Amino acid sequence: MIKEFESGIQEYKLGKLRKKDINPNPIVQFGKWLDEAISSQVMEPTAMTLATATPDGKLSSRIVLLRELNDEGFIFYSSYKSWKGKQILLNHYGALSFYWPEVERQVRIEGYIKKVDSKTSDNYFSTRTKGRKLGAWIMLQSRKIPNREYLENLYEEQKKQFAGKEIPRPLDWGGYILKPGRIEFWQGRENRLNDRILYEKKNMRWQIHRLAP
């Protein structure tokens, strides 16, 4: 079966991206775009595709949420025993992508992933709801389970175990930071003559280039 989709493609007209208008620091530039996505009521503006790979190059990707942006990079949280955690352990390089259709923008990020320190993970874990804290203790992410009831029973067991107690962060759950070496900003334009600005880190300094669409 062959399906064609060209006829319904939208024409991009909302904005433009010029080198003279961007911040020399891509983290600052990203923060500006994220704020604009939030103010434009983009659905799930912090949702990002995280791509990781095994050492022999077998890729996988999934949607995770950006939980913190700082001068070092992009922070997200997960079980260290998840499939992504296992891949990151063996291959520290990964990629992120954000797509905000309401403002006709996307951002692609490539870099080195490492765990954040325990204090950072503890601080974030303390802000989670009780239910989400309990969920982190089930420790089954990416594993095969027999049915939904099995998962719900495990959750109820954790509820009983921590009844009336503070729920600590599991040692096998915490944060990762992706420290970028490349960040590309994409702004949709008419006739597919899209604006693409690439920041590339060379000798600890960011170089900025315009790319062809």
What per-residue confidence (pLDDT) applies to 6?
62
Q: How far apart are CA 141 and CA 84, in angstroms?
A: 10
All structural domains of the chain: 8-126+171-211 (2.30.110.10), 130-168 (no CATH)
Residue-wise pLDDT for 69-92, tens only, equals: 999 999 999 999 999 999 999 999
Residue 128 has a pLDDT of: 95
Query: What is the DSSP code string of 11-48?
Result: PP-S----GGGS-SSHHHHHHHHHHHHHHTT-SSTTEE
Average of per-residue pLDDT values in the chain: 94
**Backbone CA torsion sign across 53, 49, 175, 165:** negative
Which of 38-47, 82-91, 135-144, 153-162 is predicted least confidently? 135-144
Residue % of the chain over a pLDDT of 70 = 97
Residue 134 CA to residue 130 CA, distance in Å, equals: 6
Q: Among residues 18, 132, 143, 192, which one is catalytic?
A: 192
pLDDT in tens, 61-74: 999 999 999 999 99
Q: Is 123 left (phi over 0), alpha (psi -120 to 50) or beta?
A: alpha
**DSSP structure string for 117-133:** PHHHHHHHHTTS-HHHH
At 4, is the pLDDT very low, low, confident or very high (cuts 50, 70, 90)? low
**What is the tens place of the pLDDT at every residue in 121-136?**
999 999 999 999 999 9
143 part of the active site: no
- Distance from C-alpha of 104 to C-alpha of 190, rounded to nearest angstrom: 11
Instruction: Determine which of 5-9, 69-73, 80-84, 160-164 has the lowest per-residue pLDDT on average.
Output: 5-9
Q: How confident is the model at residue 180 (pLDDT cuts 50, 70, 90)?
A: very high
